[in-house]
Homo-oligomer: A and B are copies of this chain.
Amino acid sequence: MTLNKTQIAEIDQLRAQQAATRRATVPALEEILYTALPVLDHGFVRVIDYMGDDAAITQAARVSYGKGTKKLNEDKALIFYLLRHWHTTPFEMCEIKYHVKLPIFIARQWIRHRTANVNEYSARYSIMDREFYLPAAEQLGVQSTNNRQGRAAVLSPDEAAKVQKILREDAERCYQHYMEMMNLQGSDGGEDTEPQILDPNRSGLARELARMNLNLNFYTQWYWKTDLHNLMHFCRLRADAHAQYEIQAYARVLLDTMQRWVPATFEAFQQYREGAINLSKSGLDVLQRMLRGEQVSEQSSKMGKREWREFCQSMGLNDNGQIVSPQNKVA
């Protein structure tokens, strides 16, 4: 993560301000407000603002005149009840706003979540920073053969070094050309001065065109605002082990901020979403047969091969449908 001096000063200035408010306030989240939480090599997540807390959920669920809280444990029980029964609207009553810096190819996955508000840094209007994502060697996974959209083991150190070299050189060259086409002097990034004209005798290509030469690993940034229900939905999908590693890295930081913000909801989220599984009609049938003592196999499960494997894995069973003892359990 690279913040220049101006940016650091601006953040510090924001953090120094305090005002009195009658609104629901969460000290644990205030503590990190505006701070840049690092993700990947140059990215970050900053909490810019928030509305509501755990109590605001029960307050809305009860359509209260007052705070909506009864005893603390009753409130928590209600939050657990609401999440367990897929009552989504009370969680929509809390809202959070982030400033995120992220590689473009990740931004393209992220934006698929439509129920959110976004203001992205405009490359039609402004000049992009000279910052691109270069995966660490331990992230350079081989194409998986049994999952067409996944990674298997990592590349050999030699292969990894070659890949990193290609990615770095192509990004650097493309950025250099990006600046040249706009008739601007390339900078080495990080500083906060305006780029200088390269050649006063020629004109520069429009920014909205020059940007097309940048690679998909260049960083963009945006303000992203969503409600708690949609934040949980995002994190359930994107912090999941099947999501691409790079977006997982962001989702995990979002979850950290959620834990500070609404700790009771976070706990319920772990219970009913993150650690939960969807058990299909066939899966339910298989389990009931197993509980009655029947030994069920892939053949007798009426599931397909892949579904059976997924089922066994999610239940902590081996591929023969037998319970794995805790010490041997799949992580």
CB of A166 closer than 8 Å to a CB of B: yes
Q: Is A300 in contact with chain B by the CB < 8 A criterion?
A: no
Q: Would you call B21 and A66 a contact (CB within 8 A)?
A: no
Most buried by B among A11, A64, A270: A64
Give Cα distance in the complex from A252 to B83, angstroms.
Answer: 25
With the chains together, A141 CA to B124 CA distance in Å?
12
Q: How far is the CB of A165 from chain B (nearest CB, A)?
A: 10
Judge whether A92 and B124 touch: CB under 8 Å. Answer: no
Contact B280 A271 (CB under 8 A): yes
Closest to A27 in B: B19
- The interface on chain A, measured as residues whose beta carbon lies within 8 A of the other chain's beta carbons, has a size of 145
Residue A17 CB within 8 A of the other chain: yes
A174 touching B56 by the CB < 8 A rule? no
Q: A25-B21, A114-B114, A125-B149 are in contact. Are A63 and B119 (CB under 8 A)?
A: yes
Contact A213 to B149, CB < 8 A, known contacts A118-B89, A205-B142, A323-B292 = no
Number of identical monomers bound together in the oligomeric complex: 4
A22 beta carbon closer than 8 Å to chain B: yes
Q: Is the CB of A212 within 8 A of B204?
A: no
Provide the residues of chain B in CB contact with A203, threshold 8 Å.
142-143, 153, 155, 159
Report the minimal beta-carbon distance from A102 to chain B, rounded to whole angstroms.
12
Check if B67 sits within 8 Å of A13, measured CB to CB.
yes
CB closest residue in chain B, given A51: B51
Bound form: Cα–Cα A120–B105 in Å: 13
Q: Which residues from 26 to 67 on chain A have a C-beta closer than 8 Å to any C-beta of chain B?
A: 30, 33-34, 48-52, 56, 59-61, 63-67
Instruction: Report whether over half of chain A's contact residues are helix, strand or loop; otherwise say mixed.
Output: mixed
A64 vs chain B, min Cβ distance (A): 7
Separation in Å of the A265 CB from the closest CB of chain B?
15
CB nearest neighbor in B for A18: B20
With A11-B65, A21-B19, A225-B92 as given contacts, are A213 and B206 in contact (CB-CB < 8 Å)? no
B residues within 8 A CB of A215? 174, 212-216
Contact A20 B25 (CB under 8 A): yes
Per-residue interface assignment for chain A, residues 107 to 122, with 1 indicating a CB less than 8 Å from any chain B CB and 0 otherwise: 1100110110111111
Contact residue among B52, B80, B208, B307 (Cβ-Cβ distance under 8 Å from A151): B208
Contact of A170 among B174, B244, B281 (CB under 8 A): B174
In the docked arrangement, what's the CA distance between A150 and B206, Å?
A: 7
A-B contact pairs, 8 of them (CB 8 A): A6-B65, A19-B23, A20-B30, A93-B97, A133-B212, A214-B215, A274-B281, A278-B278
Q: What are the 6 tightest A-B residue pairs by CB atom distance, in nearest-first order?
A: A10-B66, A275-B281, A92-B117, A212-B217, A19-B25, A124-B149
Give me 16 other A-B pairs in contact (C-beta within 8 A), A19-B25, A153-B203, A287-B315 excluded: A7-B65, A10-B64, A11-B66, A19-B21, A19-B22, A22-B30, A50-B51, A51-B51, A93-B119, A163-B181, A213-B216, A272-B280, A275-B281, A276-B283, A290-B291, A291-B323
